[in-house]
Chains A and B, each alone.
Chain A
Amino acid sequence: MRRLAALTGLILAASLLAPLPVRAADTLPPWSENALREDVDIDALAASDEDPIEVLRPIGEELFKAKFTTLDGAGRPDATRAIVPTKARRRPSQVFQRLAGMDANGCSSCHNEPVIGGAGAFTANVFVSEGFESADFDTTDPQFSNERNTVAVQGAGLIELLGREMTTDLRRQRGDVLASARASGKPETIDLETKGVSFGSLTAYPDGTLDVSALDGVDDDLTIRPFSQKGVFASLRQFTVNAMNDHHGMQALERFGADWTGTADFDADDHGDEVSTGQISALVAFQATLPAPTRKAELPDIWQKAAEDGERLFSSIGCAACHRPALPLESLVFHDPGPFDTAGTLRQSDVDRTLALDLGTLAWVKALPRDDKGRVLVPLFGDLKRHTIADAANDTFGNELLAQRFVARDVFLTSELWGIGSTAPYGHRGDLTTLNEAILAHGGEGTDSRKAYAALSEDDQQAVIAFLRSLEIAE
């Protein structure tokens, strides 16, 4: 196999000392319909001198593009899409099913606009909900499910690193206020802020108790969860394990294995331990290293001028209060597994050594601007914070009936606007065809900015659109 050949030198050198990091299926004929062809021993890889990006990324790309088959274990006849392993009440009559899933047999069958890893059209919408017991959902009635448009993954490695740093920072502040209350013997309150983003306040008491009722835009455990439109997943790894089961019926050992379910074949499709920790790591590495969206180069003068005006207006009318142009990132080393995952997603405590993916070695990261402290400025146009985005007067974005993972129906993570010029249609349901409609759909905390936008002249509104349309995922 290709990877095996590339690693021959390493393997020959290390074979007396350590197991091979990459294992390939040498028994498969070229015409095999198996999508799982390679696996990685992440312990051996972490212990080697090999660059994990070099090893994992191509395998991850193949897995991301793969169309999983029943030979791999695709399908989950006895399991639901639920994040916590849950038995279906009865087997679905069809393997594929657009609502309760499985609804795809490859990541890239939805994440493909304008390139692999990108967003999806309305036709690639998925339906999310918690705790599905059965596949008997044959309706799009929103009381049973929330419909979501596919988002782009480009730049997700930097997003997760920002989230990790913000989580660390918020938890440090929590520790500080608890220590302060213990020392002073009286309640102490702290306003939480990290990377310039405010997350409400915490009040600590001398006995170590904590009042979290004044938190804003973050979960009570102070974990920034930057993934999904709702902002409810902490890591690419957690999201990947969820999605592999949900969309493809490919069950990861670290969540659905015998430790946590009592069986190697929880979905009862006669394939045990379907996805290894190494294969999940490969998928994570591919997504984490996908180049971040950029700005269109070589725009016509008229568009360039309008985009520059529009960017100024974008800030002046308040959009940038949430869609922050950039957040600073201290470290570019992406450790897998990450520091804030919990049981069911591989944790750092589950391995002897983490894989250290140095995103700083990637050309597209090197090209990003840095601030005067040397921090990379991640141009995400977001704040990794959740906001109420609908109200009675403007409930376009409040069109769901179900809360998701403790997050109210009218609350969403600020969409990162980098790449927005490549990812129409817009909105969490993907049902707004123009950026103008998407901007005018803002309610709740976005009301003032929406009103300010609406009050702009036609030319100025067009300038804002020109600016947003210049933010692209390069093809």
Chain B
Amino acid sequence: MKSLGPSLSAAVAVCAALLPAPAFANGKPASLAPVPNFVEEAEAAGIDHVYDGAWEFFVGGGTAIFDCDGDRRPDIFAAGGKNPAKLYRNESPTGGQLNFALTDSGMSEKQAQNVLGAYPVDFNNDGVIDLAVLRLGENLLLEGKGECRFEVANRALGFDGGREWSTAFSATFEPDMAFPTLAFGNYVDRSAPGSPWGTCHDNFLFRPQTGEDGKVSYPEPTRLSPGYCALSMLFTDWNRSGEAALRISNDRQYYRGGEEQLWAVPPGRAPRPYRKSDGWQHLKIWGMGIASIDLDVDGFPEYALTSMGDTKLQKLDSEADETLPIYQDIAFDLGVTAHRPYAGDDLKPSTGWHSEFQDVNNDGLWDLFIAKGNVEAMPDFAAYDPDNLLLGQWEGKFAEVGDTAGVALDRRGRGAGLADFNADGLLDLVVVNRGANVSLFRNTGRGTADKPKQLGNWLAVEVRQPGRANDRAVGARISVKTGNRTVVKDIQVGAGHASGQLGFVHFGLGVAERANVRIKWPDGDWSHSYRVFANGHVIIERDAAKAKLWYPAPASD
């Protein structure tokens, strides 16, 4: 009964109605935001794949999530370490259980081995997504040929894949460049004297060059020296300048005198690291994964950096000159330090890897996923270290729901990705685990495996620039306005832990049934406002008057 009584009884009833939900559940802040129910079904979905191997594969274990066969459904490429990388074609019925079929990517057995991660990128602008594959040994640029087949394009592009131990990647399209600029992050130089301590390899920056014959190639890379054992990197417009800089998260385990890095990459000029004199603050962490989102929509992205122990959440210092890269850590204030397991009895620090901001409950608030897992058997760190699912709350903080959401498995997570594999508007989750099968979670919303139920309204946006370089609009910003509220997300290639995605960008709309979408194109031009309805997929092509819609084939097809 509601507050129906007058006087004292009314007051009592009103007070009861206003009591907040329990502030804490199991010793951690409870979520007022609805908690989605994830159901693990990798085996039933046909995914049988383990990332494993010796010391070199303690790191890595990435996954690329992208459409390899032109049906607009996200497929999965998963690194295997000593095991061959595998490509799974998405055959999930719309709204149904997840289902994947192992498919031949065209990689040779040798090429598929020693893979640590991969990022999708359409480097040749043919509309078919290509792959940058990180390996222990020669990195590969795989040109997508359609039907989930790939051909190694290293030679055709004059790309030297090197012999390094590559663990990070990011790509950006610099102004007037037809092909992307590629950054490869490298880990320990095992051949250096004294390895592994203090022997981090330089990172490489490949810039495209167009020859007189019009052919594009990647000549000798620029060395980003010193390297500090990069485990994640991201081209990001951190200062709203329109020019992407390269942020690198580094593993302090092996560097000496190292730190987190930010490189200015001015077009046509040599890259230059930001230094203390530029305002860059010295920060040493076991940097494993970057996640970036503009939480407060001020144009300056925030960065979640996973590590051993505390996750950092960096926000540009509001009291400092905004032209300087001076960050403050707001992880504690917002409740995302995720420094030790939230479940189980192990109180040792946890080990974070892939991180990603998405909206898993479609309430319009960003959530943060962090893959967790002991490096191998490090005794000072938690052995049972479940992945985090931190749900954004309306008061601005985050609440851990990994256990109640069903993602707290006893596995050593590494790379991961959230994508809507069955096109039902709820983001599913894939986690590549070290020494165990990939975890594949279907998001059943408020329901169960048998009867999924929607949460909030949602919108999936694909952005294209037909007939131009950078067809997939890497560097574009998608702005989604509902009522008076705006959320933004950038189209980026990089970040996470050895894992990337390209395809529909997902937005939760909460209770809004329509939205205004604007695109800030990579060259800085803004689109007009596209009026779209909730709970569907839209495709916005540059200069198009109206968004196209996309409908997945119904489950019965």
A265 to B17, CA, bound (A): 9
A36 contacts B512, CB within 8 Å?
A: no
Interface membership of A25, Cβ < 8 A: yes
A209 contacts B550, CB within 8 Å?
A: yes
B513 contacts A220, CB within 8 Å?
A: no
Known: A28-B6, A178-B551. A83 touches B545 (CB 8 A): no
B2 contacts A344, CB within 8 Å?
A: no
Known: A25-B4, A28-B5. A208 touches B72 (CB 8 A): yes
Interface membership of B308, Cβ < 8 A: no
Residues in A with CB closer than 8 Å to B534 are 342-343
Known: A34-B4, A37-B4, A131-B483. A208 touches B551 (CB 8 A): yes
B362 contacts A343, CB within 8 Å?
A: yes
Residues in B with CB closer than 8 Å to A207 are 70-72, 550
Given A178-B551, A182-B553, 18 more A-B residue pairs with CB atoms under 8 Å apart are A29-B6, A33-B6, A39-B2, A86-B484, A175-B551, A208-B552, A209-B550, A210-B550, A212-B546, A259-B33, A259-B34, A261-B394, A264-B18, A264-B20, A272-B17, A273-B2, A344-B513, A349-B453
The residues in A between 334 and 365 inclusive whose CB is less than 8 angstroms from any CB of B are 342-344, 347, 349-350
How far does the Cβ of A204 sit from chain B's closest Cβ, in whole Å?
8
Q: Which of B3, B393, B510 contacts A344 (CB 8 A)?
A: B510
Residues in A with CB closer than 8 Å to B2 are 36, 39, 273-274, 276
Interface membership of A191, Cβ < 8 A: no
Residues in A with CB closer than 8 Å to B455 are 343
A343 contacts B454, CB within 8 Å?
A: yes
How far does the Cβ of A387 sit from chain B's closest Cβ, in whole Å?
19
Residues in B with CB closer than 8 Å to A83 are 483
Closest chain B residue, CB of each to CB of A33: B6
Interface membership of B548, Cβ < 8 A: yes
Chain B window 476-497, contacts with chain A (Cβ cutoff 8 Å), 1 for yes, 0 for no? 0000001111000000000000
How far does the Cβ of B16 sit from chain A's closest Cβ, in whole Å?
9
By CB atoms of chain B within 10 A, which of A82, A223, A263 has the most?
A263
A350 contacts B453, CB within 8 Å?
A: yes
How far does the Cβ of B31 sit from chain A's closest Cβ, in whole Å?
10
Interface membership of B539, Cβ < 8 A: yes
Q: Which of A34, A71, A209, A344 contacts B512 (CB 8 A)?
A: A344
Interface membership of B330, Cβ < 8 A: no
A82 contacts B483, CB within 8 Å?
A: yes
Q: Which of A37, A209, A220 contacts B532 (CB 8 A)?
A: A220
How far does the Cβ of A268 sit from chain B's closest Cβ, in whole Å?
10
A14 to B71, CA, bound (A): 52
The residues in B between 3 and 25 inclusive whose CB is less than 8 angstroms from any CB of A are 3-6, 9-10, 14, 17-18, 20-21
B18 contacts A270, CB within 8 Å?
A: yes
Interface membership of B511, Cβ < 8 A: yes
Interface membership of B536, Cβ < 8 A: yes
Interface membership of B272, Cβ < 8 A: no
Known: A212-B549, A273-B17. A175 touches B6 (CB 8 A): no
A40 to B271, CA, bound (A): 67
Known: A28-B5, A405-B514. A272 touches B393 (CB 8 A): no
Interface membership of B311, Cβ < 8 A: no
Q: Which of B14, B21, B531, B549 contacts A209 (CB 8 A)?
A: B549
How far does the Cβ of B176 sit from chain A's closest Cβ, in whole Å?
30
Interface membership of B32, Cβ < 8 A: yes
How far does the Cβ of B552 sit from chain A's closest Cβ, in whole Å?
6
A342 contacts B4, CB within 8 Å?
A: no
Interface membership of A32, Cβ < 8 A: yes
Interface membership of B307, Cβ < 8 A: no
A219 to B511, CA, bound (A): 18
Residues in B with CB closer than 8 Å to A133 are 484
A25 contacts B18, CB within 8 Å?
A: no
A36 to B485, CA, bound (A): 32
Interface membership of A84, Cβ < 8 A: yes
Residues in A with CB closer than 8 Å to B202 are none
B17 contacts A23, CB within 8 Å?
A: no
Interface membership of B159, Cβ < 8 A: no
Interface membership of B395, Cβ < 8 A: yes
B32 contacts A213, CB within 8 Å?
A: no
Residues in A with CB closer than 8 Å to B454 are 343, 347, 349
Question: Total interface residues on B, using CB and 8 Å?
Answer: 57
Known: A221-B533, A221-B536. A265 touches B18 (CB 8 A): yes
A342 contacts B513, CB within 8 Å?
A: yes
Q: Hey, which bits of chain A sit against chain B, CB under 8 A?
A: 23, 25, 27-29, 32-34, 36-37, 39, 71-73, 82-86, 130-131, 133, 174-175, 178-179, 182, 207-213, 219-221, 223, 255, 258-265, 270-274, 276, 342-344, 347, 349-350, 405-406
Residues in A with CB closer than 8 Å to B551 are 174-175, 178, 208, 210
A260 contacts B6, CB within 8 Å?
A: no
A85 contacts B511, CB within 8 Å?
A: yes
B395 contacts A262, CB within 8 Å?
A: yes
B18 contacts A262, CB within 8 Å?
A: no
Interface contact tally, CB-CB below 8 A: 156
A259 to B391, CA, bound (A): 12
How far does the Cβ of B5 sit from chain A's closest Cβ, in whole Å?
4
Q: Which of B509, B512, B550, B554 contacts A175 (CB 8 A)?
A: B554
A327 to B346, CA, bound (A): 67
B33 contacts A82, CB within 8 Å?
A: no
Q: Which of A32, A182, A262, A264 contacts B17 (CB 8 A)?
A: A264
A131 contacts B484, CB within 8 Å?
A: yes
Q: Considering the complex of A and B, which 10 residue pairs feature the smallest CB-CB distances, nearest first?
A: A344-B511, A262-B394, A84-B483, A25-B4, A272-B17, A221-B533, A210-B549, A272-B18, A27-B5, A406-B531
A113 to B531, CA, bound (A): 36
Closest chain B residue, CB of each to CB of A89: B484
A203 to B453, CA, bound (A): 31
Instruction: Name 22 interchain pairs, CB-CB below 8 A, sorted by A.
Output: A27-B9, A34-B4, A36-B2, A37-B4, A208-B550, A209-B548, A213-B546, A219-B533, A220-B533, A220-B549, A259-B34, A259-B363, A260-B363, A261-B394, A262-B394, A264-B17, A264-B20, A271-B3, A271-B18, A272-B14, A276-B2, A347-B454
A262 contacts B393, CB within 8 Å?
A: yes
How far does the Cβ of A241 sit from chain B's closest Cβ, in whole Å?
9
The residues in B between 500 and 557 inclusive whose CB is less than 8 angstroms from any CB of A are 509-514, 531-536, 539, 545-546, 548-554, 557
Interface membership of B378, Cβ < 8 A: no
Known: A209-B548, A260-B511. A84 touches B482 (CB 8 A): yes
Known: A272-B14, A350-B453. A28 touches B394 (CB 8 A): no
Residues in A with CB closer than 8 Å to B433 are none
Closest chain B residue, CB of each to CB of A349: B453
A270 to B453, CA, bound (A): 31
How far does the Cβ of A234 sit from chain B's closest Cβ, in whole Å?
8
Interface membership of B402, Cβ < 8 A: no
B549 contacts A343, CB within 8 Å?
A: no
Residues in B with CB closer than 8 Å to A179 are 553-554, 557
Interface membership of B456, Cβ < 8 A: yes
A244 to B312, CA, bound (A): 44
B483 contacts A130, CB within 8 Å?
A: yes
Residues in B with CB closer than 8 Å to A210 are 548-551
Residues in A with CB closer than 8 Å to B447 are 349
Residues in B with CB closer than 8 Å to A221 are 533, 535-536
The residues in B between 47 and 84 inclusive whose CB is less than 8 angstroms from any CB of A are 70-72
Closest chain B residue, CB of each to CB of A32: B6
Interface membership of B443, Cβ < 8 A: no
Interface membership of B1, Cβ < 8 A: yes
By CB atoms of chain A within 10 A, which of B3, B454, B532, B550 has the most?
B3
A249 to B320, CA, bound (A): 42
B456 contacts A260, CB within 8 Å?
A: yes
Residues in A with CB closer than 8 Å to B395 are 262
Q: Which of B33, B485, B510, B554 contacts A343 (CB 8 A)?
A: B510
How far does the Cβ of B496 sit from chain A's closest Cβ, in whole Å?
28
A208 to B551, CA, bound (A): 5
Interface membership of B457, Cβ < 8 A: yes
A213 contacts B545, CB within 8 Å?
A: yes
Residues in A with CB closer than 8 Å to B456 are 260, 343
